[in-house]
Amino acid sequence: MAKIVLLQEGQAIPFDLAGAETVIGRHPECTFQINSNMVSRKHAKVTKSGETFVVEDLGSGNGTFVNGKKIEGPTPLIHDDRIKLGPILLRFEWPETALAVPATRPQPAPVTAAEPAKTAFNVDLSEGDEDTSTIMGTLDRSTGFGKLEVNPEAKLKGVLEISRALAGTADLNALLPKILDTLFNIFPHADRGCILFTDPTTGKMVPKAMKHRRAGDDETVKLSRTILKTVLEEKTGILSADAANDSRFQASESISNLTIRSMMCVPLLSLSGEPMGVINIDTQNAFNQFRTEDLDLLMAVAGQAAMSYEQANLLITAMEKQKQDKEMNIAMGVQRSLLPEELPKPHGWEIYASYDTAQAVGGDYYDAFMLEDGKHVCLAFGDVAGKGVPASLVMSRIATVVTNVMTFVTDVQEAILRINHQMCTRAVEGRFVTFVLLVINLETGEMKIANAGHMPVMIRKTDGTIEEYGEEAVGVPIGVIDEYPYDVLMRPIEKGETCVIYTDGVSEAMNHASDLYGVDRLRELMRASTGGHAEDLGKTILADVRKFADGRPQNDDITIMVFGRK
């Protein structure tokens, strides 16, 4: 007959599996009652189905394991299978099938103490009446290295050992297992260890690395929520044991079959002194338990481990920043290539433009090119709502749209309608463009202009007065309303007149007192100028804006275009 054998306190207690279903747990109503608070009330059940026995977990707190593997569903049993209910060890026996049924279930290979086995991350947090951990000692809150005056030789050796082991490691996935490898060398009687970090999103403790020394052991590392809470909140190390006063500490059988263990749990403190996570190691050796000196040593080693982890994290962040900077430099080069490399130099005219972004890339735009007849020049000027990468993507689109439209259309009225239509077709919500489109007859000086939500063109006349032209005909920005009927104005540019188009990065430039540069200051600067070259006036405006800002970083892109008739 098949049976379950309980291996406890040096005894083998058999129980016949006579019925179709055997419920195992600590509740008196269970078919097979086990008196241990590490076993749930109804922990697992064994069911007979034809000539097969199947074990299934019943939602227990500490899990059910077959040959060291935690089961997630009904699992068939074969002769000599080892079953663990939490730390309680049982053996399934069905001798009459031992020869008939091949033992095909893979058995774990033995692992020496010098090469601890690495297992899947499986952490069980005990709570409520399952949490039986007894705190045996704590460390006073001091630093992440414990009390430096206590056992300094051992601490120095441990810190040096872990520093040497972690030197040059920038891979966080490789760093944490190395920490456990080193801890197993520093604490040769440690059986299991794990490192948990706090998930910044959920606030839950997430296992990042785990190690156990003996193959075939229960791969789950069981932690006490009470201890974790104390370690994280008080930033202190904890030495604990399960049922510390239990007489079974004197038992001669393998301690791995008992519920007793000695555990140390210490925080991993960041440079700011806040806990990032915890290191937990335990031993199941009843005769070589951890002591307070071990806890203080672990605290010191954990301090160095936390520092190494943060240094590696900072290095990775710096490398990612360098990569992003490189990519942004490439993006800046691409955006600059959308601007004209050289402005037209038609006879009797001057054109100057300048573009300074607040970030690596920006949302301002300008272009100037001769039309195919050689008698007209087209000037385009725009400002995308926002700045940075999103604005630069919209800027690149309108630059392409303007080039494509003006290649086939020279009439300003039709051109701005087509530009607006294409930008509205695939518009991004909230990413409109204030825009000015001009076509100038180079022989007559006649300027045709359409303004889509931008500031009026400022014109310095030959007598020094300033005219803000086209204010009454400013339409809605590009990309807002499809088929909007923009007005087109016509005005001759007289000889000696100079025109300025600018973005709000000029008028809204700030000094350290948060005062704005303003349109009035720009108007007075243009009035005080002597006329002359467009380039001179453009550079004078830029220099005055920078002087006004007095070193305060610009908060928006600064772009100007100056053109005039000699």
pTM of the model: 0.53
Mean per-residue pLDDT of the chain? 80
The per-residue pLDDT for 154 is: 56
Report d(CA 278, CA 251) in Å as an integer. Answer: 32
Residue 136: the pLDDT is: 56
Which residues lie across from 282 on neighbouring strands? Answer: 192, 263
Tokens linked to 390: 């999103």
**What is each CA distance from 164 to 175, 204, 211, 463, 464, in whole angstroms?**
12, 31, 20, 78, 75
Relative to beta strand 123-126, strand 221-224 is parallel
Tell me what percent of the residues of the chain surpass a pLDDT of 90. Answer: 34
**pLDDT category of residue 138 using cuts at 50, 70 and 90:** low
Closest by Cα among 444, 472, 461, 439 to 531: 461
Higher local confidence (pLDDT), 470 or 531: 470
440-469 pLDDT, tens digit per residue, is 999 999 999 999 999 999 999 988 899 999
Residue with tokens 């800027």: 395
Instruction: Band the pLDDT of 243: cuts 50, 70, 90.
Output: very low
Q: What is the 3-state secondary structure (H, E, C) of 354-376?
A: EEECCCCCCCEEEEEEECCCCCE
